[in-house]
Amino acid sequence: MARTDRIKARAGAALLAFYVIMLTLVGCSSSSPPPDKTVSSASFALTFRTEPGKETHWCQYLRLPKGVSDEVMLTGYRWKMESMHHWTIYRATPDVPQDVPTDQPFDCFAPGAADYMQAAALTQEFMPESQMSFASGAGFALESGGLVVFQAHTVNATDKPIEPTISFELDFADPAEVPNRLGLIQFYDPYIVVPPHEEATARMRCEVPRDLTLIRRWGHMHAHGVEANVFLDPPGGPAGTTPIASVTNWEDPPILLDTLELPKGSQVRMECKYLGRDKLILQGPDKLDNEMCMFIGYYYPELAPEEGKTDFENCIWGDWYGTGTQTCKDLLACIQSCPQGEAPVVANTKVAVGPCWQQCVVDSCPSATTAFSGLRSCIESNCASECASFGEVCSSCVSSSCLSEYATCQTAACE
Ligand SMILES: [Cu+2]
């Protein structure tokens, strides 16, 4: 198919010149923001083509403008789209090949197509035309001249091809002008099992390492999702009962823009409910054939790498995953019976974990994974190579380096 004939997609050349915009953007905070100082904008105009009766997620790499340093701060954007359900921008993963084409759309869900996309979106917009400006002084640091992935969700319910289009501008500021560097929370539950024709629940809890401010937040599920609620449990309790984010329509999650403080030591607790259809559904990227349970939030101040930024933003050491009755001891026995290579592997913010492991964790009781995470963390730090597979070498490393964590797991009862 001569796709290039049909699909004219042009990533507009980035405007490299810096110029001054005085108060032309509408702030999302109620106080009037100070004028942005040095701002550059990059304009893009994209056109796709969606065949009759098709629903497509078109993706396209975009090249960001070069700033004055090795980073540019994304402080806002405005857009106008037609025949498009929503649009999204994702960070590319650090290992994205630098020579990917930036003028060719591709199907985001084709095998391997999403390999260089990070799991959480930076933006997700549904309105045909609008603008967004982060609260004054806040912005996302992106690589100067680097790559991002644009995604357009299109649905063609007609009997003729449609050509969805979008034009948008991204606003960038000099890092020196943007004191509140945003970090991106993308809490991701790796353990989801939805049996056919049954109700299922996925749970997860993530601890906040220091006082943080959220300026934008939403929950995310896929097509089997019925309802997701996110709660904030303050340190020392009692547990939150009013959700800080809720989703019932998985395709159109409400994005909350009010400011929310996350105190140090509090827990962000997620609960996603699903209804199974004709086959078993596990955690994974496909919107129709896999499920997700995510909480996404823009926060500041961004954690530094040495503060555990990546682990926190992806909730690598979360707990309260289980929804069953198995203790930590049972869970340990369960995963030891799983095929090799099923243990969770985190790479580029994505988690790969086998189906047997997912089932074992889901069958455990919520408190079992607190002790289990402690043991896993110790093994990862001290016995990673010895415990690449279970066996005597692993056991002897655990008994010399992680004995107390092991004993805690063996004796922990379900709360
Ligand atoms: Cu998803």
Q: How many CB atoms lie within 10 A of CB 156?
A: 19
- Ordered by where they begin, the domains of the chain are 3-178 (2.60.120), 179-316 (2.60.120.230), 319-415 (no CATH)
How far, in whole angstroms, is CA 388 from its chain's centroid? 27
Residues 324, 367 contacting (CB under 8 angstroms): no
Q: Residue 291 Cα, ligand 1 centroid: separation in angstroms?
A: 7
284 vs 331 pLDDT, higher one? 331
Report how far ligand 1's centroid is from the alpha carbon of 387 (Å): 31
Distance 62 CA to ligand 1 centre (A): 21
pLDDT over threshold 80, residue 120? no
Q: What pLDDT is attached to residue 348? A: 59
- pLDDT mean across residues, the chain: 87
Report the separation in Å between the CA atom of 24 and the middle of ligand 1, taken as the mean of its atom positions: 34
- Measure 39 CA to ligand 1 centroid, in angstroms: 32
CA of 62: how far to CAs of 67, 89, 287, in Å? 16, 9, 23
Q: How far is the CA of 166 from the centre of ligand 1 (A)?
A: 22
pLDDT at position 349, please? 62
Please identify which residue in the block is written with the tokens 């107390």.
404
pLDDT of residue 157: 87
pLDDT, average across residues 7-30: 29
- pTM tops 0.85, yes or no: no
Percentage of the chain with pLDDT > 90? 70
Q: 350 CA to middle of ligand 1, Å? A: 11
Q: What is the DSSP letter of 244?
A: S
Q: 234 alpha carbon to ligand 1 midpoint, in Å?
A: 28
Distance 71 CA to ligand 1 centre (A): 28
CA of 415 to the centre of ligand 1 (A): 31
Q: How far is ligand 1, taken at its centre, from the CA of residue 249, in Å?
A: 13
pLDDT per residue as tens digits for the range 367-409:
999 999 999 999 989 999 998 888 899 999 999 999 999 999 9
Find the largest Cα–Cα distance for the chain: 68
Cα 89 to averaged position of ligand 1 atoms, centre (Å): 13
Structure tokens at 345: 């592997």
Distance 367 CA to ligand 1 centre (A): 26
Span from the CA of 290 to the centroid of ligand 1 (angstroms): 9
Q: How far is the CA of 262 from the centre of ligand 1 (A)?
A: 24
| CA 74 to ligand 1 center in whole angstroms | 23
How far, in Å, CA of 108 to CA of 71, rounded? 27
CB 192 within 8 A of CB 355: no
With a cut of 70, say whether residue 24 has pLDDT above it: no
Sign, Cα dihedral of 395, 399, 405, 410: positive
Contact 97, 160 (CB under 8 A): no
> At a CB cut-off of 8 Å and minimum separation 6, what does 314 contact?
119, 186, 187, 188, 346, 349, 351
pLDDT at 241 over 90: yes
Q: Is the pLDDT of residue 11 over 60?
A: no
Give pLDDT, residue 30. Answer: 35
The per-residue pLDDT for 39 is 62
Least confident interval from 176-180, 270-274, 327-331, 338-342: 338-342
198 C-alpha to center of ligand 1: Å? 21
Cα of 70 from ligand 1 centre, angstroms:
30
Q: Which amino acid is at 103?
A: D
CA of residue 294 to ligand 1 center, whole Å: 8
Local structure of residue 245 (DSSP, 8 states): E
Ligand 1 centroid, distance to 106 Cα (angstroms): 18
Strand partners, 38: 20
CA 321 to CA 192: how far, in whole Å? 9
Instruction: Please check the confidence at residue 129 and state whether its pLDDT lies above 70.
Output: yes
Q: What is the mean pLDDT of residues 345-366?
A: 86
Q: How confident is the model at residue 12 (pLDDT cuts 50, 70, 90)?
A: very low
Based on the number of CB atoms within 10 Å of its own CB, is 171 exposed (0-12), middle (13-18) or buried (19 or more)? Answer: buried
Tell me how far apart the terminal alpha carbons of the chain are, to the nearest angstrom. 59
